Structures are given as structure tokens and as C-alpha cells.
Amino acid sequence: MCTIFAVATEPVHMRILIINGPNLDLLGTREPHIYGSRTFEDYLEELRASHADCTIAYEQSNVEGEIVALLRKAAQDLDAVVLNAAGYSHTSVAIRDTIAVLGIPVVEVHISNIHGREEFRRHTVTGGVCAGVITGFGLAGYGLAVHYLLQRGASKAERSS
Ligand code: CA2
């Protein structure tokens, strides 16, 4: 006979950092046919409101080294990262190397479907060392990434209790 004991666990409060790379501060102002017409700040407000159970911090940088520094700081202070490294996703060995040794999960997000665009966008240098890659679902991709990280965090907490 197999008896299963229910274990009461504290709800996990995850702290997640979203990092947007070069030019994503222009969201909602240019190329709406590719990236939509909403600013990231507007979307973020909605995302935070629907996830009162976690802390969602946000940073945007146009500088490769700053993104490396943000990732390393997140590994010290936070639980997970959602990263849209924008153009650096296709080129940055430095960001890839950082993610590879970070010790917290990173989910790569692209707003557009990179597989339906120019050839040079179809491969990312960074995706292979991330927990997974979400592409083509618009801003909703960030929410999908947060959802995955919360589920992953909760099941990890359950396993270690
Ligand atoms: O689809 C994505 O999220 C991308 O990461 C966006 C990058 C692009 O280089 C990647 O291939 C795919 C470009 C970000 C530029 O963002 C803009 C936003 C609004 C207007 C102009 C640029």
C-alpha cells in the first residue's frame, strides 16, 4: 500500500527580472506591424497586476556589457530572468557565456517570430543556454515566460520540502 502525505508549504514568492535589450525602449512608437503598438511599460503594468504573487523587476539597456552586469546582479539577488536581448541574441557570445554559468533560469523571449523573418534572425547564440525560447507571440510571450518560471519555482519548492 502507498500512503501519500500532504505537506503544507509556504507559497513561493518569486522575484523575476525582465531585461530588454537594444531599441526595445522604442516599442509602441515604431514598426507597429512587427512589434505592435503598445509600450512595454503599459504591458508591464498589466503583467504585474495579474501576478501580485511575485515581484517583477524591469530593466532595458542598449549596451551589451550592461546586460551582462544585470544578469550577474540578478543571479545574486533574484530567482529568474526573462531576457529579450534583441539584436544581441543573434551575436553575443558574452551574453551566452554569462547565461551558461548564471545558476538561475533564464527564458529567452522574442516578440516577433524570428523563424519567419530574415535568415540572420533565425538562429540565436543565446537560446541554447536558456531554459527555453518563446518567439512570435507578441508581448504575451513575456507573460508565458513568467508563467513557466512560476510553475517551475513552485514545483522546485515542493520537491525540496
Ligand atoms: O522579436 C524580437 O523581440 C526581437 O528580439 C527584436 C529585435 C530583433 O533584432 C530580433 O531579431 C527579434 C529588435 C528590437 C528592436 O525593437 C524595436 C522596437 C520598436 C521599434 C523599432 C525597434
* Residue 153 or residue 93, greater confidence: 93
Torsion angle of C-alpha atoms 17, 22, 28, 34, degrees rounded to 10: -110
Taking residue 146's Cβ as centre, other Cβ atoms within 10 Å add up to 23
Using CA atoms, how far residue 128 sits from 94, 97, 108, 125, 159, in Å, is 14, 11, 10, 7, 26
- Of the CA atoms within 13 Å of residue 15, those in its CB half-sphere come to 8
Among candidate residues 58, 110, 115, 123, the one labeled active-site is: 110
User: Whole-number mean pLDDT of the chain?
Assistant: 93
Which residues contact ligand 1 via a Cβ below 6 A? 23-24, 26-27, 30-31, 35, 84, 86-87, 89, 110-112, 114, 121
Atom 19 (ligand 1): residue with closest C-alpha? 27
Q: pLDDT tens across 73-88, in order?
A: 999 999 999 999 999 9
Distance 4 CA to ligand 1 centre (A): 49
Question: 116 to each of 111, 112, 119, 120, 135, how far by Cα in Å?
Answer: 12, 8, 8, 11, 10
Q: How far apart are CA 57 and CA 157, in angstroms?
A: 21
Is 35 tagged catalytic?
yes
- Complete domains list, the chain, with CATH: 14-160 (3.40.50.9100)
Tell me: the pLDDT tens digits for 18-53? 999 999 999 999 899 999 999 999 999 999 999 998
Q: Whose CA is nearest to atom 16 of ligand 1?
A: 24
Closest atom of ligand 1 to 25 CA is 18
